Structure 1
Amino acid sequence: MKKDRLLAKWLNNDLSEDELVEFKATPDFEKYQKIKNYTDHLAVEAFDENTMLSNILKQKKEVPKVIPLYKNWMFRAAAVFVLTLGITFASKKFVQQTQTADFGEKTTFALPDNSEVMLNSGSEIKYKKWNWENNRRLELKGEAYFRVAKGKRFEVQTSLGKVSVLGTQFNVKARKNRFDVVCYKGRVKVNYSNSQILLTHGQGVSFENGKQVKIIIKSSKPEWIDGQICFNQENIRTLLDEVERQYNIKIELKANDTTSLFTGKLPAKDLDVALQIISTTYNLEAKKVSKNKIIFDEK
Structure 2
Amino acid sequence: MKKNRLLAKWLNNDLSADELAEFKASPDFEKYQKIKNYTEHLEVGDFNENAMLANILNQKKETPKVIPMYKKWMFRAAAILVLALGITFAMKVFVPETQTADFGKKTTFLLPDNSEVVLNSGSELNYRRWNWDNNRNLELNGEAYFRVAKGRKFEVHTNLGKVTVLGTQFNVKARKNRFDIVCYEGRVKVNYADSQILLTHGQGVSFENGKQIKMEITSLKPEWTDNQIAFYKENIRTLLDEVERQYNITIELNSKDTISLFTGKLPANNLDVALQIISTTYHLEAKKVSKNKIILDEK
Q: Scaled by the length of structure 1, what TM-score is found?
A: 0.78
Question: Please, what is the CA RMSD of the aligned residues?
Answer: 1.4
Show the 5 A alignment for 1:116-127: 116-127=116-127
CA separation in 2, counterparts of 1:158 and 1:262? Answer: 25
Using the TM superposition, give the Cα deviation of residue 62 of structure 1 relative to its aligned residue in structure 2, in angstroms. 2.8
The aligned residue for residue 10 of structure 2 is none
SS where residue 259 of structure 1 aligns? coil
The aligned residue for residue 77 of structure 1 is 77
CA separation in 2, counterparts of 1:162 and 1:61? Answer: 69
Using the TM superposition, give the Cα deviation of residue 84 of structure 1 relative to its aligned residue in structure 2, in angstroms. 1.3
Using the TM superposition, give the Cα deviation of residue 181 of structure 1 relative to its aligned residue in structure 2, in angstroms. 0.3
Using the TM superposition, give the Cα deviation of residue 64 of structure 1 relative to its aligned residue in structure 2, in angstroms. 5.0
CA separation in 2, counterparts of 1:81 and 1:109? Answer: 31
SS where residue 149 of structure 2 aligns? coil
The aligned residue for residue 273 of structure 1 is 273
SS where residue 125 of structure 2 aligns? strand
Letter in 2 for 1:68: M
Instruction: Identify unmatched segments of 5+ residues in structure 1.
Output: 1-58
CA separation in 1, counterparts of 2:296 and 2:183? Answer: 35
Q: Which moved more, 1:247-256 or 1:77-86?
A: 77-86
CA separation in 2, counterparts of 1:86 and 1:274? Answer: 51
SS where residue 76 of structure 2 aligns? helix
Task: State yes or no: 1:207 paired with 2:207.
Answer: yes
The aligned residue for residue 67 of structure 1 is 68
Letter in 2 for 1:65: V
CA separation in 2, counterparts of 1:156 and 1:210? Answer: 19
Q: Which digits, 9 at most, give the CA deviation of each residue in 1:232-264, with x for residues without a partner?
A: 000000000000100111111111111010000
Pair 77,189 (structure 1): closer, same or farther in 2 beyond 3 Å: same
SS where residue 87 of structure 2 aligns? helix
Instruction: Identify unmatched segments of 5+ residues in structure 2.
Output: 1-59
CA separation in 2, counterparts of 1:60 and 1:286? Answer: 94
Pair 264,87 (structure 1): closer, same or farther in 2 beyond 3 Å: same
SS where residue 171 of structure 1 aligns? strand
CA separation in 2, counterparts of 1:268 and 1:100? Answer: 18
SS where residue 150 of structure 1 aligns? coil
Task: State yes or no: 1:179 paired with 2:179.
Answer: yes
Q: Which digits, 9 at most, give the CA deviation of each residue in 1:252-298, with x for residues without a partner?
A: 11111110100000111111111111111111111111111111111
Using the TM superposition, give the Cα deviation of residue 197 of structure 1 relative to its aligned residue in structure 2, in angstroms. 0.4
Letter in 2 for 1:207: F
The aligned residue for residue 229 of structure 2 is 229
CA separation in 2, counterparts of 1:75 and 1:291? Answer: 59
Pair 73,265 (structure 1): closer, same or farther in 2 beyond 3 Å: same
The aligned residue for residue 136 of structure 1 is 136
CA separation in 1, counterparts of 2:167 and 2:237? Answer: 35
Q: Scaled by the length of structure 2, what TM-score is found?
A: 0.78
CA separation in 2, counterparts of 1:66 and 1:222? Answer: 68
Letter in 1 for 2:66: K
Letter in 1 for 2:276: Q
CA separation in 2, counterparts of 1:136 and 1:86? Answer: 25
SS where residue 167 of structure 1 aligns? coil
CA separation in 1, counterparts of 2:235 and 2:166? Answer: 34
SS where residue 197 of structure 2 aligns? strand
The aligned residue for residue 17 of structure 1 is none
Q: Which digits, 9 at most, give the CA deviation of each residue in 1:164-205, with x for residues without a partner?
A: 000000000000000000000000000111111000000000
Flag the structure with larger Rg. 1
The aligned residue for residue 93 of structure 1 is 93
Task: State yes or no: 1:288 paired with 2:285.
Answer: no
SS where residue 275 of structure 2 aligns? helix
Letter in 1 for 2:139: E
Using the TM superposition, give the Cα deviation of residue 83 of structure 1 relative to its aligned residue in structure 2, in angstroms. 1.1
SS where residue 121 of structure 1 aligns? coil
**Equivalent residue pairs, number:** 240
CA separation in 1, counterparts of 2:76 and 2:94? Answer: 26
Letter in 2 for 1:78: A
Pair 93,60 (structure 1): closer, same or farther in 2 beyond 3 Å: closer
SS where residue 266 of structure 1 aligns? strand
The aligned residue for residue 163 of structure 1 is 163
Using the TM superposition, give the Cα deviation of residue 92 of structure 1 relative to its aligned residue in structure 2, in angstroms. 1.1
CA separation in 2, counterparts of 1:236 and 1:64? Answer: 82
Show the 5 A alignment for 1:38-49: none
Q: Which digits, 9 at most, give the CA deviation of each residue in 1:135-162, with x for residues without a partner?
A: 1111100000000000111000011110
SS where residue 109 of structure 2 aligns? strand
CA separation in 2, counterparts of 1:133 and 1:60? Answer: 57
Using the TM superposition, give the Cα deviation of residue 63 of structure 1 relative to its aligned residue in structure 2, in angstroms. 5.7
Pair 186,63 (structure 1): closer, same or farther in 2 beyond 3 Å: closer
